[in-house]
Amino acid sequence: MGTDITVLGVQGYFLVSFWKPILLMIPFVGWAWVISAYYDKHAARFFLPRQMWNVIHLTAGLLAVVVGLIAIPIAGEGAFWAGLGAMIVIMAIDLAAYAYVANKDERVPEEFHIRLDMERIRAAREAKSVAKKQGKVELVLKGPDKSAVPVPNADTPEFALRVAAESLVLKALEMRATQIDMAPGSKDGGYIVAYLVDGVRQAGAPLAPADAVKVIDFWKSVGKLDVTDRRRRQSADVTIERGTDKHKFRVVASGATGGMRMTGLIDPEKQVKRKAAELGLLESQMAEIKALVEERQGVVLLAAPPDMGRTTTLYTILKMHDAYTSNVQTVEMEPQDSLEGVRQNFFESKAEGGEYSTLVRTILRRDPQVVGIADLPDEQTAKEVARAEVDRCRVYLSIKGDNALAAIQVWTKAVGDPEVAAKVLHGVTAQRLVRKLCINCRQAYQPAPDMLKKLGLPADKIKQLFKKGGQVLIKNKPEVCPVCNGIGYIGQEGIFEVYTLGVPERSLVKAGNLSGLRAEFRKKNQPTIQQVALRKAVEGITSVEEVLRVTSEGSGGAPGGERKAPPAPAPVGSA
Ligand SMILES: [Zn+2]
C-alpha cells in the first residue's frame, strides 16, 4: 500500500506539475510586467527611492513564488489553490504598498497618482491640460484702496487677460526682478518685455501690441488710474499677494511712440534698504566713512552713475548718524523710503515759484546738523550748499559721477568758484555696483597669464578665478541653475572709492590740480573702484567679465548697452 501511495504521489506530482506551475506563472508575469513597465519608470520619473523599491518588489516576488511552489507538492487540490491565492495576495500587497506610498509623496503630482480606475486618471490628466491651456489665477491683487480685484469667471476673455497680466509679475518674482518694462519696439511691431534683475535687463517674451495694451490697461485699472488717458504719466501703488508673500507693485504708465509704456516696480523701497556692513565697503573704507560721520561738518560728495546705488548709500550713511540726538534732514525729489527719525523734505516742482535750490536754502537755514541732499539738478543748488555755514553742519550731496575725481570736477564747476568749492569739501565717495556670482553654479578656471597681466594682477599668485555658470548638472544632465535662474549672478554689491580731504587736498582742488590730487589720493593707500572690483574678482565674489562691464569708461551701468574697451586698470599690488 505504502509503495502504491508513493508511486501515485509521484505520478500525481508529474501529472499536475505541467498546468499548476503555468497557472502560477500567469499572475507572476502580470505582476512582473506592472513592476518593470510601469512602477519602476514611475519611481525614476518622480525621484522616488527606486533601488529600495526594487529590493522590496524582488523580495515580494520571491516570497510569492516560493509560497506558490511550496503548495504544489502538498497533497490535495486545496493546498495548491491556497498557495496560488497566497501568492496573489502577496503580490497585490506589494503593488498596493507602492501605490499607497507613491500617492502620498508630494513629488508625485495628482494626475500621476496610481489608481485602478483608468477613467479617473484620464479625466484628471484632461482637466490638468485644460487648466494649463487656460492658465490659473495665482495672485490676490489689491488696488490703492486695499480692495481685492475680483477674479473673472473662467472661459471669459477677462479671465485670460488676468492670467496674462499675472504671468508677467510671476515671471518677475521668479527671476527676482525689481522692475518690469513694457514698451513698443520689437522688430515685428510687438511690445518688448524686459525684466531688470540686479540692474541688468533680461529679455522676456515679447507681446503682440493688442495684448500688451490690454495688459497695461489692466494694471492701470488695478491702480485705479484713468484708463482712457493713454498719454499722461500716471502711477499708483498696488499690492500683490501670493500665499503669505506680499509685495508692493508700483505701476507707472505713460504714452510712448507707437503706443503705451509701462514700468512696474516691485517693492521699490526695499531697493534702497541696506545695512552699512552690506554696502560692500572694504574695512579701510568703512573706517574712513566712520571718521567722516564723526566729523559732522563740511560737505561730502557721494558720487555714482545713475542706478548704481547712490540713494542706498546716502540713506545708509544718514542712518549712521543718530537721528534722535541730532537734527537730520533730507531734500529729495521723490520719496524712496522713509527714514526713521529723519525729517524728509520733498521737492514739489508744481509749487508756485519753487526751485530745488530754494528748498535746499530753506532747509540749510533751519540750522540742521546733518542734511542729505539727494539730487544736484542745477548749479544754483551747489552754490547754496557751498554758501551754507557748514562748519556747524554736515552736508551729504548725492551727485552723478563716474569716480571721485570726476565728482570733484562736477562740484567745482557747479559752484563756479574753486576756492569756495574747495574750502567746504571734506570727503568724496564714488561707487558702482557689481553683480555677485551665483555660488551654486559659478565655474572655476585657470586664468591665462596674459589676461592677468593686462588686468594688472600678479600672474604668479592667482591660480584660479571664477566665471558665471548658469547651469548645473542634475544626474549628469545640464539644467538651468535653480538658484539664479540661469543668469549666473545673484545679488549686487557696491565697489567704492572713499577719500577724505584735508588741507593739502583742498589746496589742490582750489588750484584745479587734478593730477596732483590723484597722486595725493594714491599716497593714502586707498584703492580705486577698479582695484576694489578686481580684488572682488580675485576673491571669487564676482567675475572679470562683470568687472569690465561695470568699470568700463562711460558704461554708467547702461544695462545691455554697448561695451567700450576697458581702460587699463592700475595694478592692485600684492594685497
Ligand atoms: Zn546659479
CATH number at residue 500: 3.40.50.300
Rounded to the nearest whole angstrom, what is the distance from the C-alpha of residue 202 to the centroid of ligand 1?
A: 15
Task: Please list the residues that pair with 192 across neighbouring strands.
Answer: 183
**What is the pairing mode between strands 425-437 and 298-304?**
parallel
Is residue 285 domain-shared with residue 254, that is, in the same domain?
no
Give the model's pLDDT for residue 468.
95
Rounded to the nearest whole angstrom, what is the distance from the C-alpha of residue 117 to the centroid of ligand 1?
A: 42
Is residue 253 domain-shared with residue 323, that is, in the same domain?
no
CA distance 429 to 425: 12
Rounded to the nearest whole angstrom, what is the distance from the C-alpha of residue 62 to the centroid of ligand 1?
A: 46
Rounded to the nearest whole angstrom, what is the distance from the C-alpha of residue 470 to the centroid of ligand 1?
A: 5
Q: pLDDT-based confidence at 351, cuts 50/70/90?
A: low
Rounded to the nearest whole angstrom, what is the distance from the C-alpha of residue 76 to the centroid of ligand 1?
A: 69
Is residue 372 domain-shared with residue 421, that is, in the same domain?
yes
Distances (CA, A) of 444 to 221, 357, 491: 49, 51, 19
Domain with residue 152: its CATH number is 3.30.450.90
Give helix 404-415 / helix 514-523 axis angle, nearest 10°.
140
- Average pLDDT for residues 157-184, to the nearest whole number? 93
Give helix 118-134 / helix 157-175 axis angle, nearest 10°.
80
Rounded to the nearest whole angstrom, what is the distance from the C-alpha of residue 462 to the centroid of ligand 1?
A: 24
Q: Is 217 within 8 Å of 262 (Cβ atoms)?
A: no
Q: What one-character DSSP code corresponds to residue 155?
A: T
Is residue 161 domain-shared with residue 107, that is, in the same domain?
no
In a domain, residue 571? The reply is no
Question: What letter represents residue 189's amino acid?
Answer: G
Distances (CA, A) of 190 to 165, 204, 258: 16, 12, 10
Rounded to the nearest whole angstrom, what is the distance from the C-alpha of residue 106 to the centroid of ligand 1?
A: 25
pLDDT at 559 over 50: no
pLDDT by residue (tens digit) across 380-423? 999 999 999 888 899 999 999 999 999 999 999 999 999 999 99
Is residue 300 domain-shared with residue 424, that is, in the same domain?
yes
pLDDT at 3 over 70: no
Is residue 7 domain-shared with residue 21, that is, in the same domain?
yes
Q: pLDDT-based confidence at 60, cuts 50/70/90?
A: very high
Task: Please list the residues that pair with 261 across neighbouring strands.
Answer: 254
**What is the pairing mode between strands 234-242 and 425-437?**
unpaired
In a domain, residue 558? The reply is no
Rounded to the nearest whole angstrom, what is the distance from the C-alpha of residue 438 to the centroid of ligand 1?
A: 5
Is residue 417 domain-shared with residue 537, that is, in the same domain?
yes
Rounded to the nearest whole angstrom, what is the distance from the C-alpha of residue 541 to the centroid of ligand 1?
A: 13
Which three cell numbers mark 236?
Answer: 499708483
Q: Is 61 within 8 Å of 29 (Cβ atoms)?
A: no
- Out of 103-107, 135-139, 441-445, 524-528, least confident range: 103-107
Rounded to the nearest whole angstrom, what is the distance from the C-alpha of residue 472 to the centroid of ligand 1?
A: 7
Give the model's pLDDT for residue 8.
45
In a domain, residue 314? The reply is yes
**Which residue shows C-alpha cell 477677462?**
158
Is residue 390 domain-shared with residue 476, that is, in the same domain?
yes
Rounded to the nearest whole angstrom, what is the distance from the C-alpha of residue 490 to the centroid of ligand 1?
A: 7
Rounded to the nearest whole angstrom, what is the distance from the C-alpha of residue 559 to the centroid of ligand 1?
A: 20
Rounded to the nearest whole angstrom, what is the distance from the C-alpha of residue 435 to the centroid of ligand 1?
A: 12
- Reported as type and span, the H/E element at residue 371 is strand 370-373
Give the model's pLDDT for residue 421.
96
Residue 434 CB-density burial (10 A; 0-12 exposed, 13-18 middle, 19+ buried): buried
Give the model's pLDDT for residue 352.
63
Domain boundary (220, 244, 266) is at 266
Q: What are phi and psi of 346, to 5 degrees?
A: -105, 135
Q: Is 192 within 8 Å of 186 (Cβ atoms)?
A: yes
CA distance 211 to 194: 16
Nearest alpha carbon to residue 370 among 424, 326, 320:
326
Q: Find all residues with CB under 8 Å of 111, minimum gap 6, and list them.
A: 121, 124, 125, 127, 128
Q: What are phi and psi of 188, to 5 degrees?
A: -90, 20
Rounded to the nearest whole angstrom, what is the distance from the C-alpha of residue 469 to the centroid of ligand 1?
A: 6
Rounded to the nearest whole angstrom, what is the distance from the C-alpha of residue 467 to the centroid of ligand 1?
A: 11
Q: Is 13 within 8 Å of 5 (Cβ atoms)?
A: no
Rounded to the nearest whole angstrom, what is the distance from the C-alpha of residue 466 to the centroid of ligand 1?
A: 13
Rounded to the nearest whole angstrom, what is the distance from the C-alpha of residue 166 to the centroid of ligand 1?
A: 25
Is residue 75 domain-shared with residue 188, that is, in the same domain?
no
Rounded to the nearest whole angstrom, what is the distance from the C-alpha of residue 484 to the centroid of ligand 1?
A: 4
In a domain, residue 468? The reply is yes
- Out of 31-40, 342-351, 504-513, least confident range: 342-351
Nearest alpha carbon to residue 105 among 48, 36, 34:
48
Q: Is 527 within 8 Å of 574 (Cβ atoms)?
A: no
Give the model's pLDDT for residue 524.
85
Distances (CA, A) of 429 to 38, 288, 504, 517, 526: 65, 10, 18, 14, 11
For residue 343, the SS3 value is strand
Q: pLDDT-based confidence at 340, cuts 50/70/90?
A: confident
Rounded to the nearest whole angstrom, what is the distance from the C-alpha of residue 443 to the centroid of ligand 1?
A: 10
To 5 degrees, how large is the angle CA 324–CA 315–CA 363? Answer: 65
Rounded to the nearest whole angstrom, what is the distance from the C-alpha of residue 160 to the centroid of ligand 1?
A: 33
Q: What one-character DSSP code corresponds to residue 451?
A: H
Rounded to the nearest whole angstrom, what is the distance from the C-alpha of residue 560 to the centroid of ligand 1?
A: 20
CA distance 200 to 491: 11
Question: What letter represents residue 451's amino acid?
Answer: M
Q: pLDDT-based confidence at 513, cuts 50/70/90?
A: very high
Rounded to the nearest whole angstrom, what is the distance from the C-alpha of residue 482 to the centroid of ligand 1?
A: 6
Is residue 225 domain-shared with residue 305, that is, in the same domain?
no
In a domain, residue 563? The reply is no
pTM: 0.67
Q: Is 252 within 8 Å of 179 (Cβ atoms)?
A: no
Query: Domain containing 392: what range?
Result: 272-551
Domain boundary (217, 247, 266) is at 266
Is residue 276 domain-shared with residue 386, that is, in the same domain?
yes
Domain boundary (233, 266, 299) is at 266
Rounded to the nearest whole angstrom, what is the distance from the C-alpha of residue 481 to the centroid of ligand 1?
A: 5
Rounded to the nearest whole angstrom, what is the distance from the C-alpha of residue 537 to the centroid of ligand 1?
A: 17
In a domain, residue 127? The reply is no
pLDDT at 125 over 80: no
Rounded to the nearest whole angstrom, what is the distance from the C-alpha of residue 171 to the centroid of ligand 1?
A: 17
Q: What one-character DSSP code corresponds to residue 148?
A: B
Rounded to the nearest whole angstrom, what is the distance from the C-alpha of residue 468 to the centroid of ligand 1?
A: 8
In a domain, residue 124? The reply is no
Taking the CA atoms of the chain, what radius of gyration do you get in angstroms?
36
Q: How many domains does the chain have?
A: 3
Give the model's pLDDT for residue 121.
63
Which three cell numbers mark 521?
Answer: 589720493
Q: Find all residues with CB under 8 Å of 504, minimum gap 6, and list them.
A: 520
CA distance 292 to 303: 15
Q: What one-character DSSP code corresponds to residue 271?
A: G
Rounded to the nearest whole angstrom, what is the distance from the C-alpha of residue 176 to the centroid of ligand 1?
A: 13
Rounded to the nearest whole angstrom, what is the distance from the C-alpha of residue 209 to the centroid of ligand 1?
A: 33
Rounded to the nearest whole angstrom, what is the distance from the C-alpha of residue 471 to the centroid of ligand 1?
A: 7
Rounded to the nearest whole angstrom, what is the distance from the C-alpha of residue 137 to the centroid of ligand 1?
A: 29
In a domain, residue 494? The reply is yes
CA distance 420 to 298: 12
Give the model's pLDDT for residue 371.
96
Give helix 283-295 / helix 310-320 axis angle, nearest 10°.
60
CA distance 339 to 336: 9
Is residue 424 domain-shared with residue 311, that is, in the same domain?
yes
Rounded to the nearest whole angstrom, what is the distance from the C-alpha of residue 483 to the centroid of ligand 1?
A: 5
